[in-house]
Amino acid sequence: MARVRRRSLTHLDSEGRPRMVDVGPKRPTRRRAVAEGWIRMSPHLLRAIRENRVEKGSVLTVAEVAGILAAKRTAEWIPLCHPLPLDHVDVRLTLDDDFPGVRVEVETSLVARTGVEMEALVGASAALLTVYDMCKSLDREMEIGPVRLLEKAGGRSGVWRRPGLEGRPKRKG
């Protein structure tokens, strides 16, 4: 497990009350984040999704739209997040027979004073929850997780990439 750096808690004021961080003095920079997650399911359900036989409709299409919408509305999900005018959101769902299940990867980007990690994570979570909602009548034992940040770029801290992904191709962007 990575070592946690000790810093002051930026979302608390001097009295310990929650606050939204003032990013006004920061310089806008190009920011980008990529998050991923999985939902494990029965091979039967995965086949139904692949063959577009789920009664509620095209699971992957609806989940992609849900991921985009959620990323755009992250500040409504996460109380202390800044509302951000995203330049780009890309949600990709991949069927995996070996898992079996669906993998989601969400990329977000913009030019701003604060990062877009939460937007990528919320987008991935919403896409996976949408798959669950659309398919729960066929498989109540589906499992979601983990949802995690893969990489981020921009701002004072620069580029960060999750350790252990060295052999994995980077997303273009």
Query: Which residues does the annotation mark as catalytic?
Result: 133
Coil, strand, or helix at residue 73? Answer: coil
Nearest Cα to Cα of residue 53 among 130, 142, 135:
135
How many Å apart are CA 107 and CA 117, to the nearest integer? 9
CB 45 within 8 A of CB 139: yes
CB 88 within 8 A of CB 103: no
- For the record, the structure tokens of 28 come out as 């806008």
Which amino acid is present at 112?
A: A
Coil, strand, or helix at residue 117? Answer: helix
How many Å apart are CA 101 and CA 87, to the nearest integer? 30
